[in-house]
Amino acid sequence: MFDFLKPPVLSFQEYLALAGRATQNVVRRPFYGQDVLLQMDTIGVGSIPITILIGFFSGAVMALQMSRALAQYGASGEVGKITAITLVRELGPVLTALLVAGRNASGIASELGSMKVTEQIDAMRALGTDPIKKLVTPRLIALCIMLPLLTVLADFIGLFGGYMVGVPLLRLTTGAQYWMSSYQSLEFNDLGQGLLKPFVFAYIIASVGCFFGMRTTGGTQGVGRATTQAVVVASVWIFVIDIVMTRIFLWIAT
């Protein structure tokens, strides 16, 4: 009766198995440090320009939108606070993660997918290396390190974007007050949330990208399919996990 549920449940089991093994390998020999560094470079450093761009504009647009609402309550001076809180808690982690999902979940899936269909994954196993150790774990580690860093970068650039709009452009407040109120508004809970979220999102992006890459079948067409699925599934999971985590942090804070 529930036969239609079988394929997704089986896939999810396979996903958990892959993610589990990749995670165990973090502490198991052999370590492929070289591969981790390479991935940190392509995934992390490669994403810096776009992170800066998006960070700046999201902060700027945030301040712009809020300026009117704040003016109604005569609280224009609080623009720094509002921008800081929304950026650090929500926009920074989610936007950066979505961006990196679009850029790298697809990149990972298509790279591993091409390796799968040209039998490079089989060759790897035949020649004595565990592809999960050699391919999946390095990507997982690299993303879990780089995404929080990218998020911090996006947060700062976003605050700067908010400053540009709030202070020189709209003259809502003074520069000193902007930075002061944004600094003071942030609590430990916000920072924890702002760093833990990207860490979990990174895990999702890397593992989902690798999962769809590793199970690619059906030639180059299959690679295209794997790529699309990876981005869609990773993005959806980012939103789902985001709401769950936000709920948990609110619950902790009260």
Partner 1 sequence: MADECILRFENVSMHFDGDDAPALDRVSFNLMAGETIVLFGAAGAGKTVLLKLAVGLLRPVSGRILLFGRDVTELREQEWYAMRARAGILFQEGGLFDSMTIEENVSYPMLNQKLVEIAPEEVHRRVEEVLQFVGLPQTMDKFPSELSGGMRRRVGIARATVTHPKLLMYDSPTAGLDPITANRIIALLIKERELRNTASMIVTHRFQDGHMLATFRYNPQTDKVLEASPEQREKLHTRFFVMKDGRLVFEGTEEELDKSTDPYISKFTMQRV
* Residue 81 CB partners (closer than 8 Å, separation 6+): 181, 182, 184, 185
Tokens 């902790």 sit on residue: 252
Q: How far is the CB of 146 from partner 1 (least distance, A)?
A: 20
Q: Is 45 exposed, middle or buried (0-12, 13-18, 19+ CB in 10 A)?
A: exposed
Tokens 């949330």 sit on residue: 193
Q: How far is the CB of 123 from partner 1 (least distance, A)?
A: 3
What sections of 73-104 are H helices per DSSP?
Answer: 79-86, 92-100
Please say which residue, 41 or 122, places its beta carbon nearer to partner 1: 122
DSSP state of 31: P
Q: How far is the CB of 56 from partner 1 (least distance, A)?
A: 34
Q: How far is the CB of 37 from partner 1 (least distance, A)?
A: 14
Phi and psi based region of residue 128 (left: phi greater than 0; alpha: psi -120 to 50; beta: remaining): left
- Binding region for partner 1 (CB under 8 A): 115, 117-120, 122-130
Q: How far is the CB of 102 from partner 1 (least distance, A)?
A: 23
Q: Which of 119, 190, 184, 115 is nearest to 152 (CA)?
A: 190
Please say which residue, 68 or 125, places its beta carbon nearer to partner 1: 125
Q: How far is the CB of 15 from partner 1 (least distance, A)?
A: 16
| Strand ranges, E, within 88-228 | none
Give the chain's count of helices (H) and strands (E).
12, 0
Please say which residue, 98 or 132, places its beta carbon nearer to partner 1: 132
Please say which residue, 11 or 246, places its beta carbon nearer to partner 1: 11
Please say which residue, 192 or 218, places its beta carbon nearer to partner 1: 218
Please say which residue, 114 or 173, places its beta carbon nearer to partner 1: 114
